[in-house]
Structure 1
């Protein structure tokens, strides 16, 4: 195994990539330039994670702010979200769509996960929230949509399958049905990342545009939505009588005292609630009507000593709710403010309304039915982008078998990109894996030759 301690990108390389980031039209998803930008954002995301984990200078964040590219990232995030909702379902229903490989489509689906992962890493810093400018309103709406998905999952009794934000299992996806299943599983991880972004936005409410607080508190009633997450806890489930909690892309069995241990996701929800209810400006603007009051008071039953010991600031929230239970809060302060409206989602929908099928057909013909030469080109670029040593550094735990999902210790010797727990699983999985295996192995071989010559 090679040395994985070095950077994915040097500051000079990152600066060039960031300067070249641009907003793409919905129709351009999957085009050559789109894939080039996807490669840029993947590498920027990896480097941002490595810098944050090592508490090093976060030059990716600084460059994105300096060159004014935070709104560009938000535009690209929402653009791919619209593509997934409006174009992808149409594309999957086209009878004449029989691609040789679904990998290019998966990369478009995965693009949303990459961007939200990057935003989660950098939105911890208040200057990023400020640099988002008015696009942060669209990001608030985006996060609200994703958190609403989490709430709906738990109310409907659904639990997602195993998924990863990092595409270690690309070669397992062989047809549209599997692609749709993977997209659904990935949606859960994306929504959890959006929850973290939402919490960081609540940390920096003094940096929001004038109508930002109004959208959080009254347009979307985020405090009550977060109460639902506390109540139903979508990252916790009972599976065959065993309590499991979801962290870092996997469901983990939890026993003994660990059942009461706060996860990072629990902490994000409680901190966001704390920010939205105890910040003085929020208290002035939030409409605490009888419904909202009754919902918020449900939190009192969850504020146990064990929880407060882990997050001591919650004792202030406990006192606030105790006071709320015996008093009628003052009506919200009504300021005369011109309401700013998020523009990105509405503009993308307006520009493409009625064109979803035409866009799907265009992309089938020109983008998602690549030739052997195109597939080899994509495989080479993926091999360069997803440097295996760096990917293993980013993965939170040991890899899973591409066939059965068990913990894996053996890697495909040919492409080095798929993992298995035993020989039988590798043999069983070969028919699905062999096409991508050949392409990736060839690309890796070509890369080694280039590196040897240089």
Structure 2
């Protein structure tokens, strides 16, 4: 059909790609086989979004479940998280490491975002969550590691998700430091994707292993962490008297008429709280001590009529909190069970402890110093992966002007990442936008930048 959405993978191709997914050792991250898998995950990511938008996502869900690939992807997610924490800082400190292009390293840095993006789309389905089996504990711990820093930073008044980068060519001697700053800015978006994934997990409490519920409630005390996110709202800030909110990977000015409108991120937190606090299993296991009770009761100040009108189920939470305010703390009932613990992160760190420097040197020599021909080949392959028809289909409906927040119809022709309602807004916003416009950013939106970087002559 002419009006159908573009397809990234045909059914047979999707099955072959899913079947080929596998785990990688830390020292192999970034090699040829790993790059092939990153390409597979990006294609699955785009296909999942396209399928979800058209209401036909059963095939990909069934493939991931039937071939038991969710545990594989969770391990891959944690592996690249450890790489970014342990190996990447060493690469950034190496003074004699001046790669011809940072594109291969950027793909590794981006890999974590690619997987969590895929999870954000597919974890909506109950069978995906159940197919994670015991590795759901590792994913719960991962989401906690991502959300705790943004809650703490927001409470301290630190601005989130800002990219403090200079508009220099990424092949300069300082390119690794610039890439490090870019990775730090990317962490904020990853954390917000992790929030969405946790919301889906919290909605499957009855299907999760018993240890998963205990871990969410008592080991990590997610209810109180979510209260902090409601209280400090990291994705919202005032700047020069204007309210800005973070959505779809960027900050935008909120029009006055939309100031009380709930964003997707606001909704994720409230739904996660609803799932945890209103579940009979969670109420039985959660420790409603004086501290936890006082934190939860802070939510009553935010449960306004305007909020409840937008999410009517919150009236049940309002009743629950009113009842909680009138009751004395009760110790949770303890079950005599052999509790499981997450093992992936501890195992990877234990296997590679004391080897971080050696792994970094191995990757500098054997992985991150490709020839110019190899770089051009990579750029060509990635340009084919991100075909323009698919990229257009992934753009959110009704984009907003980066300056005034009105509905936008014009896009920056250079980076194709920012939208404007009129030429005047684009001109006024240029001084702020021009730095980001010169940098390689999200691979889905800026594949043309990749091509420019790869085609630069070697000095």
TM-score over 0.5 (shorter chain): yes
Q: CA deviation at 1:409?
A: 3.4
Task: Check whether the contact 2:97–2:364 (CA below 8 A) recurs between aligned residues.
Answer: yes
Residues 103/387 of structure 1: CA separation in 2 closer, same or farther (3 Å cut): same
Note the C-alpha offset of 1:257: 3.2
1:215 equivalent to 2:230? Answer: no
Structure 1: gaps (5+ residues): 164-169, 401-406, 443-454
CA drift of 1:43 comes to: 0.1
Distance 1:429 1:391 in 2: 18
Q: Distance in 2 between matches of 1:354 and 1:17?
A: 34
Structure 2: which 5+ runs fail to align?
Answer: 403-409, 421-425, 441-447
SS in 2 for 1:16: helix
Aligned to 1:134, the other structure's residue is in SS state helix
Instruction: Render the CA deviation track for 1:284-305: whole Å, top value 9, x for unaligned.
Output: 0001111101110111111111
Maintained 8 Å contact 1:146/1:191: yes
Using the TM superposition, give the Cα deviation of residue 230 of structure 1 relative to its aligned residue in structure 2, in angstroms.
0.3
Equivalent runs, 1:33-432 vs 2, <5 Å: 33-161=33-161, 173-174=170-171, 175-396=175-396, 397=399, 408-411=411-414
| Distance in structure 2 (CA, Å) of the matches to 1:179 and 1:63 | 35
The separation in 1 between residues aligned to 2:283 and 2:231, in whole angstroms, is 23
Deviation, 1:369, is 1.4
Q: Secondary structure at the match of 1:199?
A: helix
How far, CA to CA, are the matches of 1:296 and 1:430 in structure 2?
A: 45
- CA–CA distance in structure 2, aligned partners of residues 440 and 429 of structure 1: 18
> 1 CA distance for matches of 2:295 and 2:84?
33
> Mean alpha-carbon deviation: is it higher for 291-300 or for 170-179?
170-179
How far residue 328 of structure 1 moved from its aligned partner, in angstroms, is 1.1
Tell whether the 8 Å contact from 2:6 to 2:393 is kept in structure 1 after alignment: no
Cα distance, 1:5 vs. partner? 2.8
Paired positions, count: 427
TM-score, normalised to structure 1's length? 0.87
- How far apart are the structure 2 equivalents of 1:250 and 1:426? 15
TM-score (norm 2): 0.86
Distance 1:439 1:255, change over 3 A: closer
Change in Cα spacing, 1:354 to 1:441, as seen in structure 2 (3 Å) is closer
CA deviation map 1:159-190 (0-9, x unaligned): 23467xxxxxx997441122112101111110
Q: Is the 8 A contact 1:120 1:194 kept in 2?
A: yes
Deviation at 1:133, TM superposition (A): 0.6
Q: Distance in 1 between matches of 2:330 and 2:39?
A: 52
- In structure 1, what is the Cα distance between the partners aligned to 2:354 and 2:4? 48
Deviations along 1:383-441, one digit per CA (max 9) or x if unpaired, are: 121212212221334899xxxxxx743248xxx99999799999998899999427469
Q: Which residue is 1:449 aligned to?
A: none
Residue 256 of structure 1, CA deviation: 2.4
- Once the 2 structures are TM-superposed, how far is the Cα of residue 35 of structure 1 from its aligned partner? 0.1
C-alpha root-mean-square deviation of aligned residues, in Å? 3.0
When residues 171 and 280 of structure 1 are mapped into structure 2, their CA distance, relative to the original with a 3 A threshold, is: farther
Report whether the alignment pairs 1:437 with 2:437.
no
CA contact (8 A) 2:134 2:209 kept: yes
